[in-house]
Amino acid sequence: MKRKFLLLLILLPSLLLFVQPMKTVAQDLPPGMVVGDEKGIKASKDGEYFVKVDNAMPGMSWHKNISLLNMEKDVPYHLTMLISPPKVSGSLDLSKAIQMKLTYEGKVVYEGPASGLSEKNNLQSKPLDLGTFKAGDSRSLEVDYSLSGEYTNKDFETKNKMENVWTFYAVKTKEPVVPKKDKDSKISIKSIGRLPMTGETVKQMMIIFCMGMLIVLIFLLIWKKKHKDRANISKGGE
């Protein structure tokens, strides 16, 4: 009995170490949430906006304006954006060489390599919060690229190319009726669209579940031992 009890105590915590975050299936970006640039390139229904650079030269700089518009009727959405790890080829890694600045609502929200990885930010793992869009709201995400003139022809012996995907996620938000005396009531959020449950949240739920099972097993083992001891005492009395 003691061996079984010790074995369970060892195995269950060990299982917690192997609990992996579950990935949820991404859903379509709401059709009324439009994301696109001045050249007519739009995010797909999956929220993916394709970025490709294959003609950059030393000293070159260029600008892009990405428009964000909620055309849904009476449906507000909260928008975020992630940058995928880039695919690069050629003599020069453009994802590191090209500098990118993102300006949103008049504020610089990212400044660093085009890969989305800088000393202060990691847009590959932490989404850029673009805020809540009420029906009819529109905003612009300004993108400025630049490539230093310090590079030489040697860095361009073979054609350099960079590709990555910016994925926009939408969450439908429901704004409750706020009582007059409580203007600070928080907006409740109902997840739909493309925003997945975070892996950390799922992992915590799994840990709580396993701990609950451990407590139940310990309780059952104690109860069984007491029941067995009582039975032995009864037999001894006879």
Q: Which helix (H) or strand (E) holds 62?
A: strand 61-70
Phi-psi region of 112 (alpha: psi -120 to 50; beta: other; left: phi over 0): left
pTM over 0.75, yes/no: no
- Tokens standing for 114? 């085009």
The pLDDT score that the predictor gives to residue 207 is 74
Task: State the amino acid at position 107 in one-letter form.
Answer: K
* pLDDT < 70 stretches in the chain: 1-28, 175-203, 210, 231-238
Which residues make up the CATH 2.60.120 domain(s) of the chain?
Answer: 33-196
pLDDT tens track for 62-91: 999 999 999 988 899 999 999 999 999 999
Query: In this structure, what is the dihedral angle of CA atoms 188, 190, 193, 196, given to the nearest 10 degrees?
Result: 100
Strand partners, 113: 99
The pLDDT score that the predictor gives to residue 1 is 52
Distance CA 32, CA 38 (A): 18
E strands, 71-213, are 77-83, 87-89, 98-104, 107-113, 128-133, 138-147, 161-174, 188-189
Q: What top-level class would CATH report for the domain 33-196? A: mainly beta
Q: What per-residue string of b and e applies to 161-176 under the rule 16 or more CB within 10 Å gives b?
A: bbbbbbbbbbbbbeee
